[in-house]
Amino acid sequence: MSASIRRWRFPATTQYIAHARYVVSAHARWLGADGGAVALAISEAFTSAIVHAPVAADPGDVEVTVLRRPGELEICVCDDGPCSGHVDGAADDDDLGFRMIEQITSRLELTRRAQGGTQVRMSFPVT
């Protein structure tokens, strides 16, 4: 299978966590990844995006991108938040959600985005 990409934007509110989890994990399962692992990782990353969202009338968006490559599914969760609690490349030791994601992914990277916010890049094996 050649590389394929899919992108969604969700409002950074709690009402969209379940929707994002369902849509992205179903797509990941269709592409050959472990849908349960993806669902858990999306829930944790999306929740973190909401926790770190700007405090304003408009909380911004969470963008989820899924890229399928041979043998790997890469998922990026990007937010507009202020990045508090995250260091480039790693989560805080106290951040149980990201420690859990590290256990179920083949790769996890946390980076600050130049335009603001955080990018969570996760990789999952595919069959």
What domains does the chain contain, in order, with CATH numbers?
4-125 (3.30.565.10)
pLDDT above 50 for 21: yes
Between β-strands 107-112 and 118-125, what pairing exists: parallel, antiparallel or unpaired? Answer: antiparallel
Q: Which residues contact 103 (CB under 8 A, 6 or more apart)?
A: none
Nearest to 8 by CA among 68, 110, 77, 82: 77
Single pTM value for the model: 0.86
* DSSP-based three-state secondary structure for 86: strand
Chain-wide mean pLDDT for the chain?
A: 87
29-68 pLDDT, tens digit per residue, is: 999 999 999 999 999 999 988 887 666 667 789 999 999 9
Quickly list DSSP for 33-67: S-HHHHHHHHHHHHHHHHHTS-SSSS--EEEEEEE
Nearest Cα to Cα of residue 107 among 69, 80, 81: 69
